[in-house]
């Protein structure tokens, strides 16, 4: 009644049906509340069902009853075996107890869960016993099929994990070269990842529709990456290191690129970028500059924190690495700032050499040079130089033409061809002026003036020379002050070195040599046809010396030694406007010159000599104090005696 069964799967199905049938028989027997028989029938009872041993084995092709065992055998391998020892074997894996005690898998409604009360159990799929994780899924060796997959109620793939560890969201076939592959549900729907720290606003990373850019956003689209390699940002992009790109980086001023006809900027080595069209070069931190050569350019050199902007036409190496000082700035044409901390603000062909010219400055002009001066300054002008000699720190030239300042802390404000080699000295301007004293002298202006000693001064004029200390020439021409503490003013007033402390004012067509020391000399002049005059209190002197007051008496006092203010001096004064001339001493007029004559007063105040061309009165000779008076009348000279007037 059996026919040969060759299908292995059919054999498995028959075995399962048999087992289920036995279980149903058992349940039916229990439902009928069967009771044990009073005595055992022949054989051994088993769960109230007695199977009498067969007297012989039964063999039906691959199905056999061998003694107390039931076996379904496929190619001599026990696929399903029920043994008398209460074992159930599946393909040789025999168990004496199946789901004994607490069930490990339990149902809850339509759900099923792993019911491990010990907390130590793990579940494995596709691997050997004793998995090392709570849930372990192992794919076939070398396989690429999904080992975990989540689909929705419509059968649409939601999450897939394949045998290569790749995760697909929205796809059951994540790309081999992607560890995480996200596909949106439709072309018009963005694929997006949200990242959020608890309590904060989340960031989103999305692809903008099908074939669109990748966008990082929080409230607004902040950074966008296109498939062409473009990057755009809503705000600034900053970096502590280099920013490199094989394409372009753009802002509102233009783009940075690595070649290509349309690129405005070009990326170079070590993080440098350049803009050939506008000759802009921005070096990276570690980048060295190439030889720059002729051209117009803007150059930022972070390695030396240096900035250059302008054009090189003649001085082609001015902006090579060797000629760029640390922390230096140079704008303009052919300007070279090779010293550390130096600055050239503009102009052309200006130079600050390397070496000791730290922190020096040239404001502009042409062909100005700082050769050796810490903190030297040239504001402008042309051909000005600081530092032909050593030790010229903090020297200053304001402008002018071809001025040379070799004095530490020295100043030349302007002018032309002025030379200063004195420390802390000053030339205000003019032309061809020279100070070569050691220190602290000044020439305000003029031309061809010279100072050769310390603490001296020339206000201006022409061809004046000071060789004495603390000597002064206010101005004029051809004056010389060789004496210490001397002063010469005017023309051709020449004080020798012996004339210490002498002041002279004068005017002469020819040199006037003065050797007298400690003197005050007014040299009125030797101009042909002129009358030399000195005026005191008047702008129109009438004679060699003219003394005038605007109010009161005009007076000259003569005082030999004594003490100032002791009243022992002689005075010569005119008494009022159009009045007589008086010589006085000790408060009394002793001699008076008037239009009517001369009057000489004795010690008690009486006239002693009176030349007034009049006849004397008898009462003028009646006092012994008046004896000795002389009076000249119209014809006679009379003498006062004890006998009265006597004619001499």
In degrees, to the nearest 5, what angle opens at C-alpha 588 toward C-alphas 584 and 593? 50
Cα separation, 411 vs 245, whole angstroms: 52
Cα separation, 51 vs 66, whole angstroms: 14
Please report the pLDDT score of residue 378 as a whole number: 96
CB-based burial label for 345 (10 Å; 0-12, 13-18, 19+): middle
Q: Are 298 and 277 in contact (CB under 8 A)?
A: no
- The whole-number average pLDDT for the span 41-65 is 50
| pLDDT band with cut points at 50, 70 and 90 for residue 300 | confident
Q: Are 624 and 642 in contact (CB under 8 A)?
A: yes
Q: Where are the beta strands (DSSP E) in 452-563?
A: 457-458, 465-466, 472-473, 480-481, 487-495, 503-514, 520-523, 534-536, 545-547, 555-558
Please report the pLDDT score of residue 149 as a whole number: 77
Cα separation, 80 vs 13, whole angstroms: 11
Token output for 183 = 């596909």
Token output for 529 = 């046809």
Does residue 542 carry a pLDDT above 90? Answer: no
pLDDT tens digits for 567-598? 788 889 888 888 888 888 877 777 888 776 77
Min mean pLDDT across 207-221, 337-351, 388-402 is at 207-221
pLDDT tens digits for 165-223? 788 887 877 877 778 888 777 777 887 888 888 877 888 888 877 777 888 888 787 78
Domains of the chain listed by start with CATH number: 1-35+46-97 (no CATH), 442-532 (2.150.10), 546-647 (no CATH)
Tokens 């003019």: give the residue. 430
Specify the long-range contacts of residues 509-513, CB closer than 8 Å, at least 24 apart: 511/478
pLDDT tens digits for 407-452? 999 999 999 999 999 999 999 999 999 999 889 999 999 999 999 9
Q: Are 117 and 103 in contact (CB under 8 A)?
A: no
Q: Are 566 and 578 in contact (CB under 8 A)?
A: no
Cα separation, 408 vs 142, whole angstroms: 85
pTM for this model (two decimals): 0.56
Length of the chain: 648
CB-based burial label for 320 (10 Å; 0-12, 13-18, 19+): middle
C-alpha distances (whole Å) from 586 to each of 26, 556, 589, 599 are 169, 15, 9, 17
Measure CA of the first residue to CA of the last residue in the chain; give whole Å.
213
Does residue 61 carry a pLDDT above 60? Answer: no
How many CB atoms sit inside 10 A of residue 567's CB? 10
| pLDDT band with cut points at 50, 70 and 90 for residue 12 | low
| pLDDT band with cut points at 50, 70 and 90 for residue 629 | confident
């Amino acid at each position: 009644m059996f026919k040969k069964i060759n299908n292995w799967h059919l054999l498995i199905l028959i075995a399962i049906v048999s087992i289920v049938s036995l279980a149903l028989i058992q349940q039916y027997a229990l439902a009928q509340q069967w009771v044990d028989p009073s005595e055992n029938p022949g054989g051994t009872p088993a769960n109230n069902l007695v199977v009498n041993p067969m007297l012989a084995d039964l063999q039906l092709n691959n199905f056999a009853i061998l003694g107390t065992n039931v076996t379904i055998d496929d190619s001599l391998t026990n696929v399903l075996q029920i043994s008398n020892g209460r074992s159930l074997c599946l393909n040789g894996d025999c168990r004496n107890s199946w789901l004994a005690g607490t069930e490990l898998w339990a149902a809850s409604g339509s759900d099923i869960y792993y019911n491990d009360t010990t907390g130590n159990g793990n579940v494995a799929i596709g691997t050997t016993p004793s998995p090392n994780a709570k849930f372990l899924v192992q794919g076939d060796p070398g396989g690429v099929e999904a080992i975990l997959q989540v689909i929705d109620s419509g059968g649409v793939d939601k999450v897939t994990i394949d045998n290569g560890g790749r995760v697909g969201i929205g796809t059951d076939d994540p790309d081999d070269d992607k560890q995480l592959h996200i596909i949106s549900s439709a072309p018009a729907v963005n694929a997006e990842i949200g990242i959020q720290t608890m309590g904060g606003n989340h960031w989103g990373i999305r692809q903008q529709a099908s074939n669109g850019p990748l966008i990082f956003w929080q409230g607004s689209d902040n950074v966008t990456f296109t498939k062409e390699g473009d990057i755009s940002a809503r705000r600034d992009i900053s970096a502590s290191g280099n920013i490199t790109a094989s394409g372009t980086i753009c802002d509102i001023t233009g783009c940075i690129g690595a070649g290509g006809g349309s690129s405005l900027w070009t990326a170079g080595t070590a993080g440098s970028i350049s803009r050939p069209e506008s000759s802009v070069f921005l070096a990276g931190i570690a980048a060295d500059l190439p030889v720059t050569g002729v051209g117009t350019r803007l150059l930022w050199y972070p390695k030396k924190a240096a900035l250059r902007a302008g054009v090189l036409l003649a001085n082609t190496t001015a902006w090579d690495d060797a000629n760029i000082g640390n922390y230096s700035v140079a704008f303009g044409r052919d300007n070279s700032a090779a010293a550390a901390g130096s600055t050239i603000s503009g102009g052309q062909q200006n130079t600050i050499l390397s070496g000791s010219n730290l922190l020096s400055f040239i404001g502009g002009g042409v062909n100005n040079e700082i050769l050796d001066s810490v903190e030297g300054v040239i504001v402008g002008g042309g051909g000005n130089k600081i530092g032909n000699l050593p030790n010229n720190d903090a020297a200053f030239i304001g402008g002018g033409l071809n001025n040379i300042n070799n004095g530490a802390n020295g100043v030349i404000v302007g002018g032309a061809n002025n030379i200063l080699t004195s420390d802390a000295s000053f030339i205000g301007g003019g032309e061809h002026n020279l100070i070569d004293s050691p220190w602290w002298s000044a020439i305000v202006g003029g031309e061809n003036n010279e100072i050769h000693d310390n603490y001296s001064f020339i206000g201006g004029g022409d061809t004046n020379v000071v060789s004495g200390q603390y000597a002064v020439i206010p101005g004029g021409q051809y004056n010389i002050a060789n004496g210490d503490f001397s002063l010469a003013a005017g023309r051709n007033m020449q004080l020798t070195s012996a004339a210490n402390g002498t002041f002279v004012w004068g005017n002469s067509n020819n040199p006037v040599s003065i050797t007298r020391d400690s003197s005050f000399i007014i040299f009125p002049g030797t101009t042909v046809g002129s009358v030399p005059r000195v005026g005191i209190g008047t702008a129109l002197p009438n004679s060699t010396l003219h003394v005038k007051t605007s109010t009161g008496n005009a007076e000259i006092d003569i005082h030999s030694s004594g003490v100032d203010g002791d009243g022992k001096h002689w005075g010569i004064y005119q008494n009022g406007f159009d009045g007589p001339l008086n010589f006085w001493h000790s408060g009394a007029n002793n001699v008076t010159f008037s239009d009517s004559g001369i009057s000489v007063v004795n010690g008690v105040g009486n006239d002693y000599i009176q030349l007034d061309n009049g006849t004397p009165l008898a009462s003028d000779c009646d006092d012994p104090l008046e004896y000795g008076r002389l009076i000249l009348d119209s014809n006679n000279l009379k003498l006062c005696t004890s006998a009265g007037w006597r004619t001499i």
